[in-house]
Structure 1
Amino acid sequence: MDLPRTPSFRLDGRRALVTGASSGIGLGCAAALAEAGAQVVLAARGRDRLDAVAGALAGAGHSVEACTLDITDPDAIEACVDGLGPLDILVNSAGLARHAPALDATVADFDAVMDGNVRGAFFLTRAVARGLAAAGKAGSLINISSQMGHVGGIDRSVYCATKHAVEGFTKAMAIEWGPLGIRVNTICPTFIRTPLAAVTLEDPEKRAWVEARIKLGRVGEIEDVMGAVTFLASDASAMITGSALMIDGGWTAE
């Protein structure tokens, strides 16, 4: 009897671009893909921190290079992706948040968050997909979204709007590019202990609000995302596209 075998989670021989790789979830995703054997291109705006991360990963024996990139600049996106050649994996983790009550949200903050979280993510995902299509290659494109792409949150009307938009264009792209073998998915974390979440988690009242809604009773750690990104990048998820992988401790289960 021939038993089925689990597809490999290994990523040897594949090239991955990870944006927002200088800290937080992006750094964790870069480390996870490198551990699985991928050659990882780290991208972020701040060169010093980026070089430090690249040095640490290289020192651990991983194949890595660094690329300075502002994802709000479509021309810079095209130049970066064209220069790298066709990629096998994209992890779109760059983004920002400017939380405020909806009545107090400014046009400047709205535009800044939309530019980074939606426009930048859209055009970067498209640029990588174009390279894959031109080369006739399959690939896995992963957008780091949020549980807030599925629910609402206090002081997060603008942020929620951007993450709902990411969920929407991810599904549409998955439909269009499925015949090309290009998969597009999102990862939707809850509050993860990162610099981006620090302001919320350091406020006792807000942290209590967060922990009361996470059924597992704790905020997330970067490591909680690392297995998920390896899974979606690998052949183990070959039949998954247009989906959102929730890493929210049960927040959205209600």
Structure 2
Amino acid sequence: MSGTDPFDLEGRRVLVTGAGGLLGAEFASALAERGAEVHLADLSAMALAATVERLAGEGADAKAHAVDITDAAAVAHLVDDVGDLDALVNSAAIDARFQGLDGGGHLEGYPAEAFRLSLEVNLTGTFLVTQACCRTMARRGPR
């Protein structure tokens, strides 16, 4: 990192989860613009392809990883594939409203399965990715 620009990410490797979604794609774009090597993770290979294409149009070379972040073994494989990380952006999440699972938006009609799925992705998935990345970063030490 340059001594003059605290936002210079040249040579830094960053993993962005939920990179096929709106916020994840924006985070990835901003990081790539600052020089980071971005690795994109999302459940949807199609959404990832769209983000990779967008970033390529912006001059960035992003690497895509289709992965279910609620699967600990898949997350471990992802982090092994990415290699030494400098940063993680947890952007993966689901919203039952956009899945058509919210029971009309009222608590009394909200399906328990939709609630469980939200917890699994939004909390457990975030935990699993963060834990795996922290293990890798701790082994490597500061750069």
TM-score by length of 1: 0.50
- Aligned equivalents of 1:46, 1:81: Cα separation in 2: 18
Determine which of 120, 135, 142 is the counterpart of 1:130.
135
Mapped to 2, the partners of 1:55 and 1:111 lie a distance apart of: 33
Q: Residue 169 of structure 1 aligns with which residue?
A: none
With 67-76 and 56-65 compared, the bigger mean Cα shift is at 56-65
Q: Match for residue 104 of structure 1?
A: 109
Picking from 33, 36, 49, the partner of 1:35 is: 33
Partner of residue 48 from structure 1, selected from 41, 46, 49: 46
Q: Say how many residue pairs are matched.
A: 134
Task: Give deviations 1:167-214, integer Å, cap 9, x for gaps.
Answer: xxxxxxxxxxxxxxxxxxxxxxxxxxxxxxxxxxxxxxxxxxxxxxxx
Aligned letter for 1:95?
A
Aligned to 1:67: 65
Shift of 1:71: 1.0
Q: Does 1:86 align with 2:91?
A: no
Instruction: Report which of the two structures shows the higher radius of gyration computed on alpha carbons.
Output: 1
- Check the 8 A contact 2:70/2:128 in 1, yes or no: no
Q: How many Å apart are 1:6 and its aligned residue?
A: 6.4
Q: Partners in 1 of 2:40 and 2:51 — Cα distance?
A: 8
Query: Superposition RMSD on alpha carbons, in Å?
Result: 1.7
Corresponding position: 1:118 with 2:116:
no
What per-residue deviation string (whole Å, max 9, x for no partner) do you get for residues 116-144 of structure 1?
Answer: 00000011011101000011136xxxxxx
Q: Secondary structure at the match of 2:129?
A: helix
How many angstroms does 1:61 deviate by?
1.6
Rounded to whole Å, the distance in 2 between the matches of 1:46 and 1:89 is 22
The list of structure 1 runs, each at least 4 consecutive aligned residues, that deviate by more than 4 angstroms after superposition, is none
Q: Secondary structure at the match of 2:35?
A: coil
Greater relative contact order (CA < 8 Å, ≥ 6 in sequence): 2
Match of 1:8 in 2: 6
- The unaligned stretches of length 5 or more in structure 1 are 139-254
Which whole-Å CA distance do the structure 1 matches of 2:5 and 2:52 have between them? 29
Contact map agreement 1:38 1:63 (CA 8 A) in 2: no
How far the C-alpha of 1:58 sits from its partner, in A, is 2.0
For 1:137 and 1:62, locate their aligned partners in 2 and report how far apart those are by CA, in whole Å: 25
SS in 2 for 1:72: coil
Equivalent residue in structure 1 for 2:16, among 18, 31, 36: 18
Residues 20 and 43 of structure 1 are in contact (CA less than 8 Å); yes or no, is this contact kept in structure 2?
yes
Cα distance per residue 1:202-250 (max 9 Å; x no partner): xxxxxxxxxxxxxxxxxxxxxxxxxxxxxxxxxxxxxxxxxxxxxxxxx
Once residues 70 and 97 of structure 1 are traced to their aligned partners in structure 2, the CA distance between those partners, rounded to angstroms, is 16
